Amino acid sequence: MKKVGILTGGGDCPGLNAVIRAVVRLAAQKDVEVIGFQNGWKGIIDGDIVKLDLFSVSGILPKGGTILGTSRTNPYKNPGDVQKLIATYKKLGLDALIAIGGEDTLGVANKLHNDKLGINVVGCPKTIDNDLSGTDFTFGFDTAVNIATEAIDRLHTTAESHNRIMVVEVMGRHAGWIAVYSGIASGADVILIPEVPIDLNEVCDIVKKRHARGKGFSIIVVAEGAEFKAGQVVTKEQILDSFGHVRLGGIGEILAAELEKRTGYESRVTVLGHIQRGGTPSAFDRVIATRFGVKAMELVLDKKFGRMACLNGTEVNDVPLQVAVGSLKTVDMKLYDIAKLFFV
Residues annotated as catalytic are 129
Cβ atoms within 10 Å of 226's Cβ, excluding its own:
26
Residues in contact with 212: Cβ distance below 8 Å, sequence separation at least 6, in sequence order: none
Question: C-alpha angle with apex 271: 268 to 275, nearest 5 degrees?
Answer: 145
Q: How far apart are the first and last CA of the chain?
A: 59
Beta strands 315-320 and 49-52 are unpaired
Beta strands 315-320 and 307-312 are antiparallel
Distances (CA, A) of 299 to 23, 72, 122, 128: 11, 25, 7, 24
Query: What whole-number distance in Å separates Cα of residue 212 and Cα of residue 97?
Result: 60
Residues in contact with 171: Cβ distance below 8 Å, sequence separation at least 6, in sequence order: 128, 129, 144, 178, 223, 224, 272, 273, 276, 277
Q: Taking the C-alpha atoms of 112, 120, 101 and 333 in order, what is their torsion angle to the nearest 10 degrees?
A: 80
